[in-house]
A and B are shown apart, each in its own frame.
Chain A
Amino acid sequence: MGEQIPAVKLRNVTKTFGSITANSKVSLEIYRGEILSLLGENGSGKTTLMNMLSGIYFPDEGEIFIHGKEVVIRSPKDAFDLGIGMIHQHFKLVDVLTAAENIVLGLKGKLDLKAASEKIRAICDAYGFEVDPNQKVYDMSVSQKQTVEIVKVLYRGADILILDEPTAVLTPQETDKLFAVLRNMKADGKSIIIITHKLQEVLDISDRVAVLRKGEYIGDMATGQADAQKLTDMMVGRSVALNIQRPDAVDPKPRIEVKGLTVHSADGILKLDNVSFTANSGEILGVAGISGCGQKELLEAIAGLQPVDGGSIRFVSDDGTREELVGKDPLSIADMGVTLSFVPEDRLGMGLVGNMDLAGNMMLRSFRSGHSPFADRKGPHKLAEEVVEELEVVTPSIETPVRRLSGGNVQKVLVGREIASSPTVLLTAYAVRGLDINSSYTIYDLINRQKAAGVAVIYVGEDLDVLLELCDRILVLCGGKVSGIVSGRDADKREVGLMMTKLGGSADE
């Protein structure tokens, strides 16, 4: 036949969840020794499709062929037997076990950790991983945990690997390392599928890109022929401008002064160590850092949600008077007349109530108003309607529980509510995490509008490219300490990446 048999071939695969069609007649092929990027906006069905390949969901219709043979994948075990391994976004490791123990967990046969360690070492040597089989998972960094996950599926003999947004939690340096490993695996004849929506990475690593949109297969192209603009247009279905605007800062004046802020987490771990900086009005201050380096604690301390062990956080009014925020809870901060809006990282777990409808969530900020024992429901209902209209929130109705909305729409609801109170300070944590390109640009635009209105914006982000394009200044955190503050206009990505991993000075914890 002359044609190579694809390692994986999906034909007309359809999956519905109730009235929602997650995948509609998707056909896709991947060959041996190939890295395929699966690209698509949120809710375009990438993960659903891959979950069917790895046995988590069962397709409603369609066929799957592995190495040319039709197969039925009913469970993750079936998938493993066929050599398919998926590395999920959220790692599935047991913290108190070692790397080797996690890797052999659930396998049949005698438990021989020594032999397992040797096999693990062999795999690591073959592809260039660095794993200590005897290290406990709780001692590992995110990137090390990911490595363990990859080794785990290789150990089980997978030759088709699926990685769901593998770089979301990695620094640029760690990403480079991961990509080097993936290239080694490719050279070894493995088939690799990467789910992602970072365009630059798609172009860096993959041989071929397949694009999904709204559950449908749009097309594929060799990466050589693709560029960011082309791929975006395919994903979104129309042409999108890919530049983030950065208007000049509007009359910046100190608004929040943080001095020597020190915070321990509930279990006594030092999270912020002597952090000092000033956030100005009419300016976006970016906060960069590897995840878990104190970003969350920093924002929560300012918002009055995190007990502070030392230092001060002062709010500077327009007339120059300073008021201490440390030791106050969100209610007393609001009572001081400081309108502080906070878009937390955990949207449904902290910013919103998933089971409540849009109007109920709008009420969170306003329900206390008035002296009547009854809560005003009309005002929030109207606000919900306004937010839906202005931010183009896609929802069946105002009465829909927000957890039913897609990630981007959930975020629009949250951001919409937070800026509705015309804040003087806006704190955002990973405001575009998990959002598709369109929604992300809507959020950038909203943040820029707040900046133009003279709001002091603190933007905690993970995508360095975005931070460098959007922010006026960037505060880099490393292990809870300030590694430096750079100007967003002339900082270099590599330099910021280095500052994230290495503090300019002491190297201790």
Chain B
Amino acid sequence: MNNKTHTPLFHISKRGALPWYAAWAIRGGALILALLLCALVTTLVTGQNPIDVYITIFKGSFGSSRRAWVLFQNIAILLCVSLAVTPAFKMRFWNIGGEGQMLAGGLATAACMILLGGKLPGWLLIVIMVAASILAGAVWGGIPAVFKARWNTNETLFTLMMNYIATQLVAFFIIVWEVPKGAGQIGIINQSSEAGWLPVIGGQKYLLNITVAAVVCVAMHIYLSYTKHGYEISVVGESENTARYVGIKVERVIVRTMLLSGAVCGIAGMLLVAGTEHTLTTTITSGRGFTAVMVSWLAKFNPFMMIFTSFLIVFMERGAGQIATDYGLSQSFADILTGIILFCIIGSEFFITYQINFRHGAAKED
């Protein structure tokens, strides 16, 4: 160490509780910074006018009423999966098997549509589909939970592996049900009879999905915040020892919560197959089971906040597609922009918890 020691240029210390408006000001600032950064990158890398690019991104979501409905439909499905994995996360059970649980629900739905379509009255078929998808999702989520509760297996790996099994199962049944033979895909199920298609309400194809997601959102908020079950989930998540100490049966809570988590994922899968796509592919979930992890965390497990976080992510995705087509930019470019925005937003949390003190403390006033 040489003789001249300097005070460090800055040091970091923890903040007290920030008032909510200051916290939101920081988050807002982060968003603005993100947009500026994106603009800079856009100009430097592509030479395009960033404002035009932003407008195009916006058009991707709101350019026409059809695009807007597609946006909301995508938000609805993503929100539904995010809500599904949230109780598990609150319990510190890292369920990254949303994909598999959705696929299980979707597979069960498709099975009902294909095998029972035309043999049962429409409403009964839909009731059976709903029940089957819930059951399938719950089973897919319940298996890792039982193993976790009984033998303390690692739920992260387990749920992840269950995803692959679900994908392969779907791949298998696609060959079983392929139309026409040898096509390697199922195609639109019951295209002529529309048996098992979810009904169109309010004249809008996607309105039902959106309504279901909204109901699930409110229900999940009530469940987590006001019920005894929700309370038990929080206690188990915070400390299993405390839970045992007050006589909560931790194993039972784990299994019960994962059954619920899987069941809601199953519903999301059902919405996707019977409400939106009317077919089944191995990639039908488009990674939403994983994106949901991010949505849930960004919202700090608050169901209503998830509306915003899922909006943000879907909005950026849609915009990405739009710049890809309009400017001939690669889809990856939009992913870069999404990355910058998420980086800034997640990074802003650091500045909400900590403050930076500079050497010549001009910012001494507190």
Q: Which residues of A contact B (CB under 8 A)?
A: 16-20, 58, 60, 71-72, 74, 78, 81, 303, 305, 329-331, 334, 342, 344, 346, 348-356, 360, 363-365, 367-368, 373-375, 377
Please name all residues of chain A whose beta carbon is closer than 8 Å to the beta carbon of B5 when the two chains form the complex. Answer: 71-72, 78
B245 and chain A: residue at smallest CB distance = A350
- Given contacts A367-B228, A374-B228, A60 and B357 within 8 Å (CB-CB): yes
CB distance from A313 to the nearest CB of B (A): 17
- Given contacts A19-B16, A375-B227, A342 and B245 within 8 Å (CB-CB): yes
A353 B242 Cβ-Cβ under 8 A: yes
Please name all residues of chain A whose beta carbon is closer than 8 Å to the beta carbon of B172 when the two chains form the complex. Answer: none
Please name all residues of chain A whose beta carbon is closer than 8 Å to the beta carbon of B247 when the two chains form the complex. Answer: 329-331, 334
Please name all residues of chain B whose beta carbon is closer than 8 Å to the beta carbon of A20 when the two chains form the complex. Answer: 16
Please name all residues of chain A whose beta carbon is closer than 8 Å to the beta carbon of B283 when the two chains form the complex. Answer: none
B234 A353 Cβ-Cβ under 8 A: yes
Please name all residues of chain A whose beta carbon is closer than 8 Å to the beta carbon of B229 when the two chains form the complex. Answer: 373
Query: Which residues of B, 34-89, contact A by the 8 Å Cβ criterion?
Result: none
Please name all residues of chain B whose beta carbon is closer than 8 Å to the beta carbon of A342 when the two chains form the complex. Answer: 245
Question: Does chain A have a CB within 8 A of B181?
Answer: no
Q: Which of B7-15, B197-205, B309-317 lies at the interface with chain A?
A: B7-15
- Given contacts A17-B16, A71-B5, A78-B1, A374 and B226 within 8 Å (CB-CB): yes
Cα separation A477 to B230 with both chains bound (whole Å): 41
Cα separation A444 to B213 with both chains bound (whole Å): 54
Cα separation A351 to B227 with both chains bound (whole Å): 21
CB distance from A376 to the nearest CB of B (A): 9
CB distance from B305 to the nearest CB of A (A): 17
Interface of B is mostly: mixed
A351 B245 Cβ-Cβ under 8 A: yes
B16 A350 Cβ-Cβ under 8 A: no
- Given contacts A60-B357, A329-B247, A374-B228, A353 and B235 within 8 Å (CB-CB): yes
Please name all residues of chain A whose beta carbon is closer than 8 Å to the beta carbon of B242 when the two chains form the complex. Answer: 349-353, 364
Question: Does chain A have a CB within 8 A of B6?
Answer: yes
CB distance from B30 to the nearest CB of A (A): 20
Please name all residues of chain B whose beta carbon is closer than 8 Å to the beta carbon of A60 when the two chains form the complex. Answer: 13, 357, 361
Cα separation A307 to B310 with both chains bound (whole Å): 46
CB distance from B309 to the nearest CB of A (A): 21
B245 A305 Cβ-Cβ under 8 A: yes
Cα separation A342 to B245 with both chains bound (whole Å): 9
Q: Which residues of B contact A (CB under 8 A)?
A: 1, 5-8, 11, 13-17, 226-232, 234-235, 238-239, 241-242, 244-247, 249, 357, 361, 366
CB distance from A414 to the nearest CB of B (A): 11
Most buried by A among B234, B239, B249: B239
Please name all residues of chain B whose beta carbon is closer than 8 Å to the beta carbon of A303 when the two chains form the complex. Answer: 245
A374 B16 Cβ-Cβ under 8 A: no
Please name all residues of chain B whose beta carbon is closer than 8 Å to the beta carbon of A349 when the two chains form the complex. Answer: 239, 241-242
CB distance from B114 to the nearest CB of A (A): 37
A346 B241 Cβ-Cβ under 8 A: yes
A18 B8 Cβ-Cβ under 8 A: no
CB distance from A53 to the nearest CB of B (A): 15
B14 A17 Cβ-Cβ under 8 A: yes
- Given contacts A356-B238, A374-B226, A18 and B16 within 8 Å (CB-CB): yes
Which residue of A58, A331, A363, A374 contacts B227 across the interface (Cβ within 8 Å)? A374
CB distance from A319 to the nearest CB of B (A): 26
Cα separation A18 to B15 with both chains bound (whole Å): 4
CB distance from A135 to the nearest CB of B (A): 32
Please name all residues of chain B whose beta carbon is closer than 8 Å to the beta carbon of A334 when the two chains form the complex. Answer: 247
A58 B238 Cβ-Cβ under 8 A: no
- Given contacts A364-B246, A374-B226, A353 and B16 within 8 Å (CB-CB): no
B13 A17 Cβ-Cβ under 8 A: yes
B248 and chain A: residue at smallest CB distance = A331
A-B contact pairs, 20 of them (CB 8 A): A16-B13, A18-B13, A18-B14, A19-B16, A303-B245, A330-B244, A330-B245, A330-B246, A344-B245, A349-B239, A349-B241, A351-B242, A351-B245, A353-B238, A354-B239, A356-B235, A364-B242, A365-B246, A373-B229, A374-B226
Cα separation A352 to B234 with both chains bound (whole Å): 12
Please name all residues of chain B whose beta carbon is closer than 8 Å to the beta carbon of A360 when the two chains form the complex. Answer: 231, 234
B234 A356 Cβ-Cβ under 8 A: yes
A364 and chain B: residue at smallest CB distance = B246
Cα separation A329 to B244 with both chains bound (whole Å): 9
Please name all residues of chain B whose beta carbon is closer than 8 Å to the beta carbon of A365 when the two chains form the complex. Answer: 246
CB distance from A392 to the nearest CB of B (A): 23
CB distance from A481 to the nearest CB of B (A): 26
CB distance from A172 to the nearest CB of B (A): 31
A373 B228 Cβ-Cβ under 8 A: yes
B230 and chain A: residue at smallest CB distance = A375
Please name all residues of chain B whose beta carbon is closer than 8 Å to the beta carbon of A18 when the two chains form the complex. Answer: 13-17
Cα separation A81 to B5 with both chains bound (whole Å): 13
CB distance from B119 to the nearest CB of A (A): 38
Which residue of A81, A344, A348 contacts B1 across the interface (Cβ within 8 Å)? A81
Cα separation A493 to B17 with both chains bound (whole Å): 47
Please name all residues of chain A whose beta carbon is closer than 8 Å to the beta carbon of B14 when the two chains form the complex. Answer: 17-18
Cα separation A282 to B238 with both chains bound (whole Å): 36
CB distance from A55 to the nearest CB of B (A): 11
Please name all residues of chain B whose beta carbon is closer than 8 Å to the beta carbon of A353 when the two chains form the complex. Answer: 234-235, 238-239, 242
CB distance from A450 to the nearest CB of B (A): 19
A78 and chain B: residue at smallest CB distance = B1
A368 and chain B: residue at smallest CB distance = B228
